[in-house]
């Protein structure tokens, strides 16, 4: 546009030797030409903008009572697949009841400028954004929704709807059963390399230590029972940020000088989590629980709102809380190892039976 305007100015300047009539005619012609070009550009811009916003026109995908609204740029088949697979992922783990799916509407890459979503008539259902990922170069962009993103968004919403104990304890993404070898290593390292004494007690086989590490009981004084003064002082020494913050406050200073109560007060004031185990350890406990007792038990446990986390898990599985914790300890320290539930003789029995059968065949047979 600027270039066009400059061209007009240059062209419109009176040229020496031209008559005034000739100049007027030329100016009018150029002006008409410029106006026509401008109109063409406006039409083109409107078309481009229309094409841009058409990608955000809502498309409603439904499956098993769940709804996903995505822009038209996301292929319908891919969105349908993401919704189906996301629901299957959640059902496989059992952490989100199916009826909960009907209470939500997930949306992503939708034009929300003119209240589009509420006009689609979802009533009182909660609207929840979901990640839409973009791939490919500018010339050939494509958009898609992942099953993991659908599952993650639903699980996060369900987690937020639970009682305070679960909300405090459950890590985000707990319901997406994506667990790799690196997670197993991470859970192992979290437990064996933790500076907290409860982790050491757990490694040494003390059930109470493991329960404190996992923070699955309702402790009256979570900080004081899960961390010792020495633990918290060690934490201060681990990073310059913590030590600077501590020296800057009076309570922190008192903590460094060796007063345990001051350490507890200092960390609590900093909003430091009162759960000793990091997220992967807690996700690991849920994973062990799921593999031992199944998706139904997970669903029952998460829907339970009575008692501590340990009591809910134990009730849902119909087992003793301590035995569950010890299974988790074994699983974590052996990096996913199966407990020695069967005796060596029971393990060997099928092989020996087969060997005997084969041997009997050889004894009866003839070489030919």
Contact residues for other proteins, defined by CB under 8 A: 188-189, 191-194, 199-200, 203-206, 329-330, 333-335, 337-338, 340, 342, 344-345, 347-356, 358-359, 361-368
Closest of 143, 114, 118, 113 to residue 130, by C-alpha? 143
Question: Could you tell me the smallest distance in angstroms from the CB atom of residue 41 to other proteins?
Answer: 50
User: Measured from the CB of residue 301, what is the shortest distance to other proteins in angstroms?
Assistant: 25
The dihedral formed by the CA atoms of 196, 202, 208 and 212, expressed in degrees to the nearest 10 = 40
- At 20, list the tokens: 């005034």
Smallest gap, in angstroms, from Cβ of residue 101 to other proteins? 29
Nearer to other proteins, 114 or 193 (CB): 193
Q: Which two tokens stand for residue 128?
A: 């929840």
- Sheet strands (E) in the chain: 58-63, 66-71, 104-108, 126-129, 133-135, 142-144
Shortest Cβ 281–other proteins spacing (Å) = 13
Q: In the complex, what is the shortest distance from the CB of residue 182 to other proteins, in angstroms, rounded to a whole number?
A: 15
Contact residues for 322 (Cβ-Cβ < 8 A; gap 6+) = 207, 211
Least CB distance from residue 347 to other proteins, whole Å? Answer: 5
- Cα dihedral across residues 242, 245, 251, 254: positive or negative: positive
Q: Considering beta carbons, is residue 189 or 274 the nearer one to other proteins?
A: 189
Closest contact distance (angstroms) between CB of 335 and other proteins is 8
- Nearest to other proteins of 32, 349 (CB atom): 349
Nearer to other proteins, 140 or 363 (CB): 363
For residue 128, what are the β-bridge partners?
106
CB-neighbour burial class of residue 232 (10 A; exposed 0-12, middle 13-18, buried 19+): buried
Residue partners of 36: CB distance under 8 A and separation at least 6: none
Q: Tokens representing 222?
A: 């979570």
If DSSP codes are grouped into helix, strand and coil, which group holds residue 249?
coil
Residue 61 has phi, psi (to 5 degrees) of -115, 135
- Closer CB to other proteins, 13 or 362, in the complex: 362
**CA 112 to chain CA centroid, nearest Å:** 24
Q: Min. distance of Cβ 356 from other proteins in angstroms? A: 7
Q: CB-wise, 290 or 327, nearer to other proteins?
A: 327
Residue among 152 and 188 whose Cβ is closer to other proteins: 188
Give 144 or 194: the residue with its C-beta nearer to other proteins: 194
């Amino acid at each position: 546009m600027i270039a066009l305007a400059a061209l007009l100015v240059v062209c419109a300047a009176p040229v020496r030797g031209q008559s005034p009539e000739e100049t007027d005619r030329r100016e009018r012609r150029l002006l008409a030409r410029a106006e026509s070009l401008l109109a063409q550009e406006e039409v083109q811009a409107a078309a481009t903008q229309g094409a841009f916003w058409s990608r955000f026109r809502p498309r409603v995908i439904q499956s098993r009572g769940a709804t996903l609204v995505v822009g038209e740029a996301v292929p319908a088949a891919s969105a349908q697949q993401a919704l189906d697979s996301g629901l299957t992922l959640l059902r496989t783990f059992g952490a989100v009841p199916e009826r909960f799916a009907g209470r939500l509407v997930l949306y992503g890459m939708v034009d929300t400028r003119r209240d589009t979503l509420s006009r689609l008539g979802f009533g009182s259902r909660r609207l929840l954004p979901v990640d839409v990922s973009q791939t490919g170069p500018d010339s050939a962009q494509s958009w898609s929704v992942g099953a993991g993103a659908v599952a993650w968004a639903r699980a996060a919403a369900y987690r937020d709807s639970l009682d305070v104990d679960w909300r405090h304890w459950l890590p985000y993404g707990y319901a997406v059963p994506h667990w790799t070898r690196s997670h197993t290593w991470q859970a192992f390292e979290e437990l064996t390399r933790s500076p907290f004494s409860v982790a050491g007690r757990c490694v040494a086989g003390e059930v109470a230590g493991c329960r404190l590490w996992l923070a699955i009981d309702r402790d009256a004084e979570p900080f004081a029972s899960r961390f010792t003064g020495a633990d918290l002082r060690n934490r201060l020494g681990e990073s310059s940020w913590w030590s600077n913050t501590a020296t800057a406050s009076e309570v922190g200073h008192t903590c460094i000088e060796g007063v345990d109560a001051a350490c507890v007060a200092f960390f609590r004031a900093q909003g430091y989590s009162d759960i000793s185990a990091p997220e992967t350890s807690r996700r690991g406990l849920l994973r062990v629980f799921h593999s031992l007792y199944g998706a139904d038990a997970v669903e029952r446990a998460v829907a339970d709102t009575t008692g501590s986390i340990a009591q809910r898990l134990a009730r849902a599985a119909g087992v003793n809380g301590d035995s569950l914790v010890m299974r988790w300890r074994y699983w974590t320290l052996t990096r996913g190892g199966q407990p020695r539930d069967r005796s060596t003789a029971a393990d060997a029995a099928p092989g020996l039976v087969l060997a005997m059968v084969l041997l009997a065949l050889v004894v009866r047979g003839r070489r030919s």
